[in-house]
Amino acid sequence: MTPSSDDRDDAEAVVRGFLRDVRSGERPERAGRYLAARVRAHQGRPGAEHGVVTRTPEDYADHVRDMLRARGPWTFEVTGVEASDGYVEARWRQAGAVAAEGSARRRPVVEHGWARYRVRDGRIDEYWIDAREQAAPAPGEVLRYTAFSTDPGGGNPAGVVLDATGMTDAQMLATAAGVGFSETAFLLPGPDPVGVRYFSPRAEVSFCGHATIATAVAVAERSGAGRMRLATAAGQVEVVTDRADDGTWRATLTSVPPRTAPLEDADLRGLLSALRWSEADLDPGLPPRVAYAGAWHPVLAARTRARLRDLDYDREALADLMARRGWTTVDLVWRQDATTFVARNPFPPGGVVEDPATGAAAAALGGYLREGGHVGLPAVLTVRQGEDMGRPSVLTVEVPEDPGSGIRVSGSAVALPAAG
């Protein structure tokens, strides 16, 4: 029998009350109001359980009190409750501290929890629980993520320092060089908007899309989904994070207002020479321009996928031209269909041959296409990047109709496994 809407509402109310009063640690003595006389508790998600225990309400209250004694007070935030298929699923975020191993000091930790509850006769009689705990990073600590992929083997790796308070420019540059990724983001915690700086292994850059996506997901994993505003050297950038049902995190940034400029004939000749392309290799429907959405990128559209696939450029000549013009990457694209583009981004100023996913260039491309009338508006575009270098990435680019609006770039990000 399918539960009625009243039944679902009642079950959801029971779970919300249980989380608010008992699981939060506020009133563990109220466990009997929400739990059946005997409750089966599965450790792990359905089909992936790694343990089952049976608890009475008194047992559960004692369990919460034991956690409080071990950890001290914590903050508890319910981030989602939804009734479906006879069950109620809930998510929460719990922030507190635990004793560091071998030390009297306590380290901050954040737990992200998920549970599925079965409610019968107004009481929870069975549930499945899955929780993941993360330590808060120390000041200056580098986290490593890959952006625009759910696979650690894909996307564009970025370093993330969530607390760069007190770090000098030289320290940030040395840290980025030590990480070795194309960019590392350094957050400067403070009043909204939060300051952020981006460094390649060789220099500071005004804005970096993939490091922004990685940073937003790193913050969300520790503080929950939401919205944050970043004060970048290019201007204010808003980022929104959310978590899918499968547990993967996704972030959407809104760029500063984009603009384009002509690509001078001499610069076009220099680009083609360094790339070892000819004018016949260019798509006449997408003329060369220089585009900006936080950083400047020449946009060259290849006539064929084969031309884009065969990337063999003069690194010294291209790096010299880009340094003189202040370009961050070169955005080479091939238009697969009306809303799908394949991209490659040479990045010699950053000390790497090619970027596997470039959020700033994707935003600039969206602005270029809008300004040139090359897409119907509003548009949702897919940019595929990194395929030819073995790190496939997918960037979703939303182009609003308003010519003064920022471009939205979305993608997933996941933490990289620790080295060693």
**Catalytically annotated residues:** 183
CB–CB of 369/380 below 8 Å?
no
Q: Could you give the C-alpha distances from 140 to 51, 176, 420, in angstroms and in order?
A: 38, 11, 21
- Per-residue exposure over 21-36, b if at least 16 CB sit within 10 Å of its own CB, e if not: bbbbbeebebbeebbb
Q: What is the DSSP letter of 264?
A: -
Separation CA 160–CA 143 (nearest Å): 5
Structural tokens at position 239: 């980022």
Chain centroid offset of residue 268 CA: 34
Listing DSSP states for 1-33 in one string gives -PPPHHHHHHHHHHHHHHIIIIITSS-GGGHHH
Token pair 């030819």 is found at 388
Q: Report the 10 Å Cβ neighbour count for 4.
A: 9
CB–CB of 17/34 below 8 Å?
yes
- Per-residue exposure over 328-357, b if at least 16 CB sit within 10 Å of its own CB, e if not: bbbbbbbbeeebebbbbbbbbbbbbebbbb
Q: How do 235-243 and 226-232 pair as beta strands?
A: antiparallel
- Per-residue exposure over 369-386, b if at least 16 CB sit within 10 Å of its own CB, e if not: bbeeebbeeebebebbbb
The gap between the terminal CA atoms of the chain, to the nearest Å, is 53
Collapsing DSSP to helix, strand or coil, 144 comes out as: strand
